[in-house]
Structure 1
């Protein structure tokens, strides 16, 4: 394949929300003992080298949540998805990390619920019918074909924070309003009924990567949740 063709393909994939493809080809091992504070620190450095737009504090909390979920027997694979709802929807605020190979697999736009806010999400809920997003730690379930096409069910692991996510049908799915074109044309990503929707072309590969017992960490600087979550204590 010629160099120009290769560069074009890499650029195209990047526009869909994939991380820079070289990160798929090369990975640096984390030589620290898995789960230790040293491992967390080195993992942050390795992942940040590929995803410089994620906040160190948010990534650290996501790794802490993953390790605690793993201790409780929830995490079935070494994959972590982080959503940072403190960022506006105009920014790529969803990341998928391969913690086994220390790679950033996806970094893309993601919607929030229409009643959570405009470009910025400021309000969250666990209540049915609220049309708001939920924060906290989730576990992915099985994918299915629904009204929004190929979708992935989420199970909220935090009582009173997101444990109604499954019954509320808060799922990851593709949506035209979450495509990059929507951002270019309208200056924003559209909003959902509470689901973290991603671009249509990205939904299937992303879902297939994180399906079946991987951790999703949805962050917002909510003081009450941050101080009480059982998953955020190191």
Structure 2
């Protein structure tokens, strides 16, 4: 009986070993196929961080933001439909922001733009209210007698030249002159308009700045260099823009340059403001 029991135990051990050899590979494959908890958590965290980086707001370059804000203001003012080209508006705004940065302007936030690249028969003067985003005035304006006929092509800073002078001006005070109510202008661009005072280049009204004159002669009359205005609007315009506001006279002169066309200064000023744009 004892020998029989020993034989049975040996058979049982042998059977157990065979079963273990069959089961172990299956168990091992299950173990290898199941990922560990810690790596899974780490993988999910890495994926979440990567996705967060992808949805983060992109950084906008200052120059891009500056151009975007100028274009937005240009559209809000609606001046493209009135014939004010963006490149002229951009130059005028650059100078305005430079002058404001130097403390040369009052708090009126008015910008007057004259584009002498347009013929005198077109309304080529704009008074822009930058705070209200409105065009206060859009009207005719004359150029100097020796600057050209209908088109202004010649410009000078010299006394008795009877030509218009391009560039940036800051308006001063009113006075009563031979043309009645008039406005003094201070030219700021050295070599281009700094003789405005000595030449008596001022803003005033004139009968030859009218639609009637255009119908009769095919162009406006011409001044001795002053940006002359229609008689029926000159009082309102002078009253609005007097007292340290910016005036920019643009024209077809490839030689014109200005220290106030510094875009870095303009960019810094505009992007630091909250009122204009």
TM-score, with length taken from structure 1: 0.81
Q: 2:90 aligns with which of 45, 60, 64?
A: 60
Q: How does 1:1-150 map to 2 (within 5 A)?
A: 36-48=66-78, 51-76=81-106, 77-150=108-181
Structure 1 position 102, deviation (Å): 0.5
C-alpha distance in 2 between matches for 1:92 and 1:135: 18
> Greater shift after overlay, 35-44 or 195-204?
35-44
C-alpha distance in 2 between matches for 1:116 and 1:162: 14
Deviations 1:110-138, CA, capped at 9 Å, x for gaps: 00010011110000000011000000000
Deviations 1:72-105, CA, capped at 9 Å, x for gaps: 1112120000000011101100000000100001
Q: Does 1:230 align with 2:259?
A: yes
C-alpha distance in 1 between matches for 2:159 and 2:203: 17
C-alpha distance in 2 between matches for 1:195 and 1:159: 18
* Contact 2:77/2:135, CA 8 A, preserved across alignment: yes
Aligned to 1:10: none
RMSD of aligned residue pairs (Cα, Å): 1.4
* Contact 1:180/1:199, CA 8 A, preserved across alignment: no
C-alpha distance in 2 between matches for 1:50 and 1:117: 26
Change (3 A) 1:72 1:51: farther
Give 3-state SS (helix, strand or coil) of 2:237's partner: helix
* Contact 2:154/2:163, CA 8 A, preserved across alignment: yes
* Contact 2:74/2:80, CA 8 A, preserved across alignment: no
Structure 1 position 164, deviation (Å): 0.5
Would you identify which runs of 4 or more consecutive aligned residues in structure 1 move more than 6 Å?
none
C-alpha distance in 1 between matches for 2:132 and 2:173: 24
Aligned to 2:207: 176
- What are the ranges of 5 or more consecutive residues in structure 2 without an aligned counterpart? 1-64, 264-277
* Contact 1:51/1:104, CA 8 A, preserved across alignment: no
* Contact 2:182/2:202, CA 8 A, preserved across alignment: yes
Q: Which has the higher helix share?
A: 2
Give 3-state SS (helix, strand or coil) of 1:104's partner: strand
> Greater shift after overlay, 50-59 or 207-216?
50-59
Structure 1 position 184, deviation (Å): 2.0
Tell me how many residue pairs correspond in the alignment: 198
